[in-house]
Amino acid sequence: MSQKILLDKVNIPGIKTYQVYRQNGGYASVEKALKTLTPDEVVEEVKTSGLRGRGGAGFPAGMKWSFIDKKSGKPRHLVCNADESEP
């Protein structure tokens, strides 16, 4: 039997509400990334996950994130284009 990963909590009553979602571990990864990991550790987590872009090339997201300049001393921002407009 296969294990649901993305939708494993979809049938929990009230899961669409913020309170129930948080009670069931919602946003735990975001909280971990913001409170306990360094930016470099976040990039390594994404690399290790194997997450890839949804565009035609399927470029590794962690690799792309690692290209952000760390030496300039200026604030860094990652902008996400969430519209690939592909089927």
Dist. CA 40–CA 63, nearest whole Å: 12
Tokens of 61: 């997201």
Please tell me the predicted confidence (pLDDT) of residue 4: 76
Dist. CA 15–CA 66, nearest whole Å: 34
Please tell me the predicted confidence (pLDDT) of residue 81: 73
Dist. CA 34–CA 55, nearest whole Å: 27
Q: For residue 86, is pLDDT > 60?
A: no
Tokens of 4: 């649901």
The rounded radius of gyration (Å) of the Cα atoms in the chain is: 16
Per-residue pLDDT band for 1 (boundaries 50, 70, 90) equals low
Q: Which residue has the tokens 């929990």?
A: 12
Domain ranges of the chain: 1-36, 38-87
Overall average pLDDT of the 60-83 stretch: 85
Tokens of 57: 């090339």
Q: pLDDT tens, 13-49? A: 999 999 999 999 999 999 999 999 998 999 999 999 9
Please tell me the predicted confidence (pLDDT) of residue 53: 84
